[in-house]
Amino acid sequence: MKNQINTIPEKINESDFVFERPSFLSKIFNLKMVLNTASVLSLFVIWGLLVNFGIYRFVLIPGPAEVLEWGIKWMGSKDFWMDASLSTLRVLGGFTFACLIAIPTGLMIGWNKIFSDLTFPTLEILRPIPGIAYIPIAILFFPWEEASVAFICFVGAFFPILLNTITGVKLIDRDYFRAAQCLGSKPRHIFWHIVVPGALPSISTGAALGMGIAWMASVAGEMISGKWGLGYRIWEAYTLIRYPLIVDGMIVIGLLGLGSSTLIRFITLRLIPWRKAITESLDESITK
């Protein structure tokens, strides 16, 4: 690399530009990895110590070893798969309905002023009512329990998706609309080629958010009005004094929620290939 300026371009080797690769050991034992591992480990160690020495009321809380033991037992039983699949189905049902209604409504509200005036004030009044407060109405309205829990998930997921869709449409550069109009697009062309793709990144964020809230709502719904499902299971574990099962249930709910949010990000990334192209090229430039 010394006298690069004087060398003839053909003579520059590719190796001149390749940085020296960090060795395997230095990759593992850098500060970041050590501290990250320490962080995760200390979480479990502190939990274990607090329970072990019974500080304050931590005697009642199950320790990591117990939780692991019960977790393995629970995973082996049929109940677990029933609970997990039923909860997932409820959340997915509510979430799908929320997407089907919130995304078109949001697109129309963001795009069309008259439609926005006609619907948005009502939605704005309904929005601050938390999904949990709908539980009595849901029980009343749906004779079928599955539907009432799914409805609560629907309410929880609806507003994050709706609001993010509206913001997504509002954030589209006005020039695109003007350009399309100059080129003689009809409203439906503008809708399908500008409004929908322009709002997609924001919709993706909203969907991931909504998924998280749908899981939260499903737990509450099942605790209060369920016969099966993970939320019901942790409440039952509490009443039957099977305390380690509570923590197992929490962990499974957390993992399922995380998994479904990640799945949504993955799927929506497929729908917005131009976004992916940007991030991928960035990744490449950083890693190479």
Partner 1 sequence: MANWTTVRRIMSVLLFLLAWTILVQFTGQFHQIPTPAAVFAALFQLKLGVIFTEIFRSFVRVLCGFLLGLLIGFPIGVAIGYSRIANYLLFPAVEMVRPIPPIAWIPLTVLFFINIESQIVFLTFYGAFFPIVYNTMGGISEVDIRLPRAAMSFGINRMGMLWKIILPAAMPQIFTGMKVAIGITWLMVVAAEMIASKGGLGYWVWYHHTVMEYPMVILGMGIIGLCGALCSVGIDVIGSHFMKWRNIF
**What 3 state SS string does 190-214 have?**
HHHHHHHHHHHHHHHHHHHHHHHHH
CB of 76 to partner 1, least distance (A): 22
With vertex at residue 250, the alpha carbon angle to CA 248 and CA 252, rounded to the nearest 5 degrees, is 70
Nearer of residues 98 and 223 to partner 1, judged by Cβ: 223
Contact 208, 261 (CB under 8 A): yes
Say how far apart CA 106 and CA 100 lie, in whole Å. 11
Selection from 124, 132, 221, 204 nearest residue 164 by Cα = 204
Nearer of residues 35 and 183 to partner 1, judged by Cβ: 35
CB of 278 to partner 1, least distance (A): 17
Say how far apart CA 252 and CA 53 lie, in whole Å. 27
Nearer of residues 176 and 238 to partner 1, judged by Cβ: 238
Nearer of residues 1 and 286 to partner 1, judged by Cβ: 286
Which residues bind to partner 1, rule: CB under 8 A? 31-32, 35-36, 38-40, 42-43, 57-58, 60-61, 114, 117-122, 125-137, 139-141, 212, 215-216, 219-220, 223-224, 231, 234-235, 237-238, 243, 246-247, 249-251, 253-255, 257-258, 261
**Cα dihedral sign for 284, 270, 208, 245?**
negative
Q: What does 2-46 look like in DSSP terms, one character per residue?
A: TTTTTS-GGG--GGGGPPPPPPHHHHHTSHHHHHHHHHHHHHHHH
Contact 208, 263 (CB under 8 A): no
Nearer of residues 1 and 266 to partner 1, judged by Cβ: 266
Hunting for tokens 């909203």 — which residue is that? 206
Say how far apart CA 49 and CA 60 lie, in whole Å. 13
Residue ranges of E strands in the chain? none
Nearer of residues 100 and 255 to partner 1, judged by Cβ: 255
Nearer of residues 115 and 176 to partner 1, judged by Cβ: 115
